[in-house]
Amino acid sequence: MSSGPSGRGTGSPIARLVEAFHRLPGIGPKSAQRLAYHVLRAPAEEARSLADALLEVKERVTLCGSCQNLTERDPCALCEDAGRDRSLLCVVEEPLDVVAIERTGGFRGLFHVLHGVISPADGIGPEELKIEELLRRLRERDEGVGEVIVATNPNLEGEATAMYLARLLRPLGLRVTRLARGLPAGADLEYADDLTLGRALEFRQEV
Amino acid sequence: MPGRAPRVIRTEAVVLRHRRLGEADRIVTLLTPGHGKRDAVAKGALRPRSRLAGPLEPLSLVELVLARGRTLDIITQAESRQSFPQLHAGLERLAAALYLLELTDRLTVEQQEPDAVFELLLEALGRLERGDGLHLVSRTFELALLEAAGFRPEWERCVACARSLAADEAAWSALAGGVLCRPCAAGHPEAGPLDGRALRVLRAYQQSPYEEAARIRLDPDLAARLEQVMHALARATAERDLGSARFVAAARTAGGLPAAEAAPGEAP
């Protein structure tokens, strides 16, 4: 029912491409047009590799059945790595948080990705996250986890999620810890909020 | 209002919620004592070293400076006044506080709120912070907020025929906003029975000062009934599901533990 030489609406390939770019986050109508015309002028090879990459990411990347991280094979490389410490499990909000923690080089345990954080006012409750998968993993598969490190963000939603997880996990006989909270490098005491400064004092360390 | 609105406002505010704006900014929903509920932009609040991010977390009282923008105000300074540490120390208390925030947000209209709502919310958060019963604080706040927002529920007389009702003969309807006598309830298919004990407590909560309301003992069954009624009323008035009301229930049952944070006078 679409198509036709008019060039208007969703029928025209250019309009469809502009529309598709416009749906991406952070892309307004002008940027969408610019991107579409860039593709139009680029060599066919470039357009094809972009199309292939788009399809491939949707077809090949799935969630790891164990840690729920994005992966091309299930179980993922991290979960399969025999060199990881299986007694430590770090729970994070998003796949990018795994990357961030891996970058520190200070953690050799396993991960679990929640794919979000409890945010009741936005309609995101525990059921919307990969919490059931986490419980199943800890209860049923005997991976030998002894400590769960809850590495959600140090904000209201992250705290709510951490406390909720702690409630669920403690009855399983696990040690549940939370990332320390305090002053970021380069911070200024004068501008720190009370809660942060309070925690920084509470969890002070000997120098 | 005489004169022109000032270009800069200095005000206290309770942060109700925030949402992302583009890559690094946030839109923060504020409840202020003198300027109602309003949205304002916290520029750069998503950057790690932002001086605005910490104080502007929801569930905190801040003092801030707002510059009037064309559409949205811009937050130029923010300083924490009260961060309610006890509310962050327990799951059920936190869930109750989040519910108060969402309810306030949903039942108020931008820039037209009576100043009373700010005081009500701050008072209720203060009571949660000092350890008062979660049910007591939540129910008395709901009733006071509904009244301040112009949705005062009717617990004494039938909302259809205005007949005074004894506590044990009342039905009620969230949509109708109060109790109904038996004959009138027939015309309201959504109406349901209302426990006489629960109704007596609701009447007392609505009519007496907080200190007196605090003396009423609630057993777990009664507390659950009251919560059911008030959550249904809140949902009907807000005309939407309140996610935080569901989280209050989820928090209570998480881990299969009994409610551990109830205060004296409430469920064990």
User: What pLDDT score was predicted for residue B49?
Assistant: 74
Contact check, Cβ <8 Å, B243/A163? no
Residue A75 touches partner B, C-beta closer than 8 Å: no
Residue A185 touches partner B, C-beta closer than 8 Å: no
- Whether A127 has a pLDDT exceeding 60, the answer reads yes
ipTM of the complex: 0.84
Closest Cα of chain A to B129: distance in Å? 14
User: What pLDDT score was predicted for residue A9?
Assistant: 52
With beta carbons less than 8 A apart as the criterion, state whether B155 and B179 touch.
Answer: yes
What end-to-end distance do the CA atoms of chain A give, in Å?
A: 73
User: What pLDDT score was predicted for residue B3?
Assistant: 54
Q: Which of A167, A170, A190 to mutate to test the interface with B (most CBs of B within 10 A)?
A: A167
Contact check, Cβ <8 Å, A125/B241? no
Cα distance between residue B207 and residue B192, in whole Å: 23
User: What pLDDT score was predicted for residue B55?
Assistant: 86
- Whether B85 has a pLDDT exceeding 60, the answer reads yes
B68-85 exposure pattern, b = at least 16 Cβ within 10 A, e = fewer: eeeeebebeebebebbbe
- Whether B261 has a pLDDT exceeding 50, the answer reads no
How many CA atoms, within 13 angstroms, populate the side-chain half-sphere of residue B11?
25
Cα distance between residue A107 and residue A90, in whole Å: 9
Q: Confidence band (pLDDT; 50, 70, 90) for A10?
A: low
Contact check, Cβ <8 Å, A120/B241? no
With beta carbons less than 8 A apart as the criterion, state whether A28 and A39 touch.
Answer: no
CB contacts under 8 A, A 109-138 vs B, are 118-126
A166: helix, coil or strand?
helix
Sheet with strand A175-178: strands edge to edge = A110-113, A88-92, A147-150, A175-178
